[in-house]
Amino acid sequence: MPTSSSARKTSEALAALRTRRIAPPSLAGYGEFRGVIHAHTGLSHDSTGTDEQILEAARLAKLDFLITTDHYTPRIFTEGLDGIHNYVLVVRGVELPLGCVRGEGTARRCGSVLAIGLREPLDPDKYATKEDLLTAIRAQGALAIIAHPRGVPNPHYFDLADGMEIYDIADTIRERLVEIPRYLLATPFLKGGYETELFLPIAERSNWPLVQWDRLTQTRRFVGLAGNDAHQNLSFLGRQFDPYALVFGSLNTHILVPLATKENRFLASPSPFVKTVTALRAGRCFSSFNLLADAAGFRFAAHAEEKGAVVAVMGDEASLQAGLLLIAQSPLPGAIELLRDGVPIRRQEGRELRYRVDRTGVYRVEVSLWVVDRWRPWIFANPIYVRA
């Protein structure tokens, strides 16, 4: 069971680690912006969150953008948050069911699709099949992101989507139900202010979605995103255990947006809505457990040669050429692991990993941090696709 002493030890270790932060040089021509994907508001049947609570949580988590994905109701397209509020861009999305599968024993998993960036209202009941629904989402120029992928009943749905969740907080909580009673029993120790440290069991590597993602990226560009799946609906004896502020600050998606000049900020024209959807569609993003430490400043790019020009960033394609060099840079010392086609090929402890590319493949990076007694997953970057 968690204790105040173990939480204090973790807190002290994280505080010491965070003091070692040194952000790598920024990528010329790009701005980095922090956000949250997959959040439910009071428009969903399983959430009572108010607009004021959500915006305050977004401020505390220092978000630049927030993508809401309420369960379907026609009210989504006329009510609730949308646009820029207190310097936070809110993009309206919707979560639509794709069906369920039977798991071990009597357990049942249900998959869904996040429709992000719809230009017009969409009624899912008008479509005879889920294939038609997925096609209709993309026909609007919106993103179709598979959520809760282990519950998707038809593998063909992945072929019709733009990407998938490689992590979902709610799924992890369900898989680690043993931690919930321990968390509740730890309530007396929360007076020490260690809510974040006791929330650390959610920060785990979810293997099945990553394997599925690696398989799909072998045939085409396929975006991997992390879902906060925020509801603010887990309470006990009057205490809220999943407040928006905690969930928003625990897991973030960082996007790289081309900026013409330093003055061309994220919320300036052209439309920040277009910038966000375009960056996500291109896979110019990485996910991070920021409850461990702020991952802003992480870099993964392909260079023409040593100290050469950047020819590709996360999500891009690069041509195989002599001297092609992959460089991953971390704002904190950690374990940087490079994978090719889903297989680890290089691991480097420290702040930087360099790899001379000698063959085609799909290259992605994971970063872990040593906290107290083990490596904890921290960053998951979208791949660079090296083609012939």
Q: Are residues 247 and 321 in the same domain?
A: no
64: Cα separation from own chain's centroid: 14
pLDDT at 270 (0 to 100): 63
Same domain, 330 and 186: no
Residue 351 CA, distance from chain mean position: 22
Last residue of a domain, one of 237, 254, 287: 287
Question: Are both 265 and 317 inside the same structural domain?
Answer: no
Asked if residue 94 is part of any domain, the answer here is yes
Contact at 8 Å (CB) between 297 and 32? yes
Pull the structure tokens for residue 354: 């360099």
**Domain termination site, one of 264, 287, 310:** 287
Could you say which of 266, 287, 308 is where a domain stops? 287
Domain encompassing residue 98: 4-287
Q: Which of 2, 65, 5, 62 is nearest to 38 (CA)?
A: 65
**Claim to verify: residue 69 and residue 171 sit in the same structural domain:** yes
Would you state the pLDDT for residue 265? Answer: 66
Same domain, 234 and 155: yes
Pair (49, 175) in one structural domain: yes
Q: What is the pLDDT of residue 172?
A: 87
Is the same domain home to 335 and 192? no
Q: What is the full per-residue pLDDT of the chain (388 aa) written as tens digits?
A: 445 577 788 899 999 999 999 988 888 889 999 999 999 999 999 998 999 999 999 999 999 999 999 999 999 999 989 999 989 999 999 999 999 998 665 578 999 999 999 989 999 999 999 999 999 999 999 999 999 999 999 999 999 999 999 999 988 887 765 555 555 555 544 555 667 777 788 888 999 999 999 999 999 999 999 999 999 887 766 777 789 999 999 999 999 998 855 455 677 656 888 999 999 999 999 999 999 999 999 999 999 987 789 999 999 999 999 999 999 999 999 999 999 999 999 999 999 999 999 999 999 999 999 999 999 999 999 999 999 9
Cis omega before residue 333 (within 30°)? no
Strand ranges for the chain from DSSP E: 30-39, 65-71, 83-85, 88-102, 108-116, 143-147, 163-168, 223-227, 235-236, 239-240, 252-258, 285-288, 299-303, 310-313, 317-319, 325-340, 343-356, 361-371, 374-381, 384-387
Angle CA 64–253–381, to nearest 5:
140
pLDDT score at 199 = 79
Residue 293 in domain: no
CATH number, domain at 47? Answer: 3.20.20.140
Q: What is the pLDDT of residue 195?
A: 72
pTM value is 0.93
Shared-domain flag, residues 43 and 133: yes
The number of helix segments (H) and strand segments (E) in the chain equals: 10, 20
**What CATH number should be reported for the domain holding residue 338?**
2.60.40
The pLDDT of residue 385: 98
Q: Is residue 292 part of a domain?
A: no
Number of domains in the chain: 2
User: What pLDDT is stored for residue 200 in this prediction?
Assistant: 84
Task: Check residue 1 and give its pLDDT.
Answer: 42
Position 164 scores a pLDDT of: 98
Do 337 and 258 sit in the same domain of this protein? no
pLDDT of residue 193: 63
